[in-house]
Amino acid sequence: TCFVPDFKVDLHCEENNKAHNTDEISVKRLIVRRGKSFILTFCVDLKSFQALDPLQLAVETGPQASQSLKTKAVFEILPANAAGIGWNARVQAKSSSSVTVAVSSPEDACIGEYSLSVKRGSSSRSIGKFVLLFNPWCEGKFHNERQEYVLNEHGIVYRGQSNGIQPMPWTFGQFEEDVMDICLRLLDVNPKCLRNAKEDCSARCNPIYVSRVLSAMVNAADDKGVLEGKWDGNYCDGVAPMCWSDSVAILRRWDQRNCNCVKYGQCWVFAAVLCTTLRCLGIPCRVVTNFESAHDTDGNLTVDHYCYDLGVTPNAKDNVFFYLCIDIGTSISQYDGWQVVDPTPQERSDGTYCCGPAPVKAILEGHTNLKYDVPFVFAEVNADIVTWRMNSDGTKTRMFSDTKEVGQNISTKAVGSYERMDITRNYKYPEGSAKERQVFEEAVRRCQRLTIRGGISDVSPATPDVSVKIVEVGQSINGKDLDLSLSLRSDQSKPLTLKIQLNARAVLYTGFSISNVWSKAFEVKLLPNKEENLFFSIPFSQYGTCLHGADGIKVTAVVSDIGGSEAMYGAEKTIVPKMPSLTITVSTSFLYHSIPSLLSAILNGKHSKLHTVLHPNDIFPQIMFASYRTTCFSFIPQMYNAAFILYVLL
């Protein structure tokens, strides 16, 4: 047995953390990224250090760590000019009173908390602990975007409808000191770790595995996850999803409650919390909103809607709404670049409520035979909507198909600014193009379940003889009647007698109908090769009260040929009435003198009653971001918006 003397080891936490871009998390503990060296200094004179030869270092993570699982490594301290592979250490500098060593980890090392010790023969002594994270600087990708997709603690999530996109500031806060420990705890309580901890820790070398685990753990559908989802509007025993604006508050609440779920979340909250955990652990990611997103429950790459003779459509399992997910920057086989990961519990994947990572390049090309969950994500952005008529005898008749509605204005925050960036072209070819239809057919062809069900005979439906479209006339304003137009055009050679059934329903953003609003039926004669625009209005007196708790008004038109063929056509459109604009004029002196002092008092807690009225999210994003860590900053008049001034005056 060789004795290891008790000498001091300096971990250089502040210096190492700055070099590894982790100093925002802490400078009091060692946090480094894999594939990049960090330094240790042995405070011992050179002669005594040389007398310890051979001296080894040992690192290990997780229970029952072993070299075969790559959760443990033992390696000698080599001379400065020696080459090292895997975990290795080389002498970097010597002095009369110390020896500095550079320790390197492999680029595919397991992430997590490690113990670090020195060994000499069979004797060893612990010299500390450190946390090893993924290293987006190591792979050479996302060179110009790391500041945004790894280091930026603030961002924008987009909600609303494709014709009424609403930006919402969000604080990710991935570098708050306790967030990293919470993220590691999330990994430690995931079901795979509870079943086999040593195998789970060994798999944490793979960002695909880690992102899939976190996708499952952000929701609480089938594990000790962070957030419980709820969509029925009743949030009295928790926090309404629209009230969250900060991932840190959610993660801390979950941690403080001993891993009991936080109530409640919806898609944008799930996505934002997942973004925080991924960025914290070093996986580049961005929050993405897909407007008119399809939820395909039966895996046939279509969204099936059903209507009765009067045009009333019951709530279906398949639906269309706005939806948020996460793009992560990693590689799956030849599909490098962005991968879709979705933490909202919609469908099970390998028995667990998670989704992805699905390569964006595979989604674009319709390669639905690949891991993970590519068919589901492909349907989210490019499914066809098929509307069926439910007949009185229980049978159904295919009425029409919409190949263009799903997947619009796919959005994310632009790099380095607060502008919206449209990334639809990354996910799908232009709607209406031959390439888009070709890719859809390829997607169906590759999906094994569809082949079993009878092939792809209906993937390119015939163009209907009568085109039907619902159009907004001007801007729809909440508080005013909704003015719309039903556009009809016939390609037939003879006049048609058509029965028109119009219906309007209040719907949640998920597409779920909560109440009927308005209906109208009439007949019209449509001449051949002529467009007819039929104007109609939905009175505010009928839709106003129905909007409470709803996200929009879905208008449906069912058109029946009652003059001979009995063919049916249709269209639908979701209207999101905009709030009326409000202009408030105040004096320049009020802007310069009253607001800065009032805001400073609120942020310093001197007006706690007002603080509940003036939430940082209601202020321009730059003010919110500055106030997150400090209450002392400059005030610029242009940064105040009308909402802020209104709150103060009220």
* Residues in the annotated binding site for Ca(2+): 382, 384, 431, 436
The length of the chain in residues reads 650
The one-letter code for the residue type at 288 is V
Residue 344's nearest CA partner among 235, 240, 220 is: 220
Strands of 330-395, DSSP E:
338-341, 358-359, 384-390
Name the residue with tokens 């232009």. 430
**Which pair of tokens denotes residue 187?**
């990994």
Contact (Cβ atoms closer than 8 angstroms) between residue 517 and residue 540: no
Q: Which amino acid is at 340?
A: V
SS3 content of the chain, % helix, strand, coil (to 5): 25, 35, 40
Residue 393 CA to residue 74 CA, distance in Å, equals 74
Instruction: Quote the tokens at residue 75.
Output: 């390696």
CA dist., res. 24 & res. 507, Å (int): 43
Listed in sequence order, the residues at least 6 apart from 182 whose beta carbon sits closer than 8 Å to its beta carbon are: 251, 252, 254, 255
Name the 3-class secondary structure at 15. helix
| Residue 502 contacts residue 554 (beta carbons within 8 Å) | no
SS3 42: strand
Q: Which residues pair with 505 in a beta bridge?
A: 516, 554
Q: Are strands 112-120 and 123-133 parallel, antiparallel or unpaired?
A: antiparallel
Token pair recorded at residue 9: 């080891």
Count the helices and strands in the chain (H runs, E runs): 20, 29
Strand order in the sheet with 302-307: 302-307, 384-390, 396-402
Element containing residue 597 per DSSP (H, E): helix 595-603
Q: Which residues of 24-44 are buried (b: 16+ CB within 10 A; e: fewer)?
A: ebbbebbbbbbbbbbbbbbeb
C-alpha pair distances (Å), 404 with each of 254, 278, 533, 581, 586:
41, 33, 21, 32, 46
SS3 349: strand
- Helix (H) or strand (E) segment spanning residue 46: helix 46-51
Closest among 336, 346, 343, 340 to 327, alpha carbons compared = 340
> Which residues, including other chains, have CB under 8 Å from residue 428's CB and lie 6 or more apart?
363, 364, 381, 382, 407, 436, 439
Distance, in Å, from the CA atom of 569 to the CA atom of 311, rounded to the nearest integer, reads 11
Do residues 427 and 364 lie in contact, with contact meaning Cβ atoms separated by under 8 Å? yes
Q: Which amino acid is at 249?
A: A
H/E element, 649: helix 642-649
* Residues annotated within a binding site: 382, 384, 431, 436
Separation between Cα atoms, residue 484 and residue 491, nearest integer Å = 23
Query: What is the three-class DSSP state of 104?
Result: strand
Indicate the pairing of strand 302-307 with strand 30-33: unpaired
Cα 642–Cα 646–Cα 650 angle in degrees, nearest 5: 180
- String of DSSP letters for 410-421: EEEEPTTSSSEE
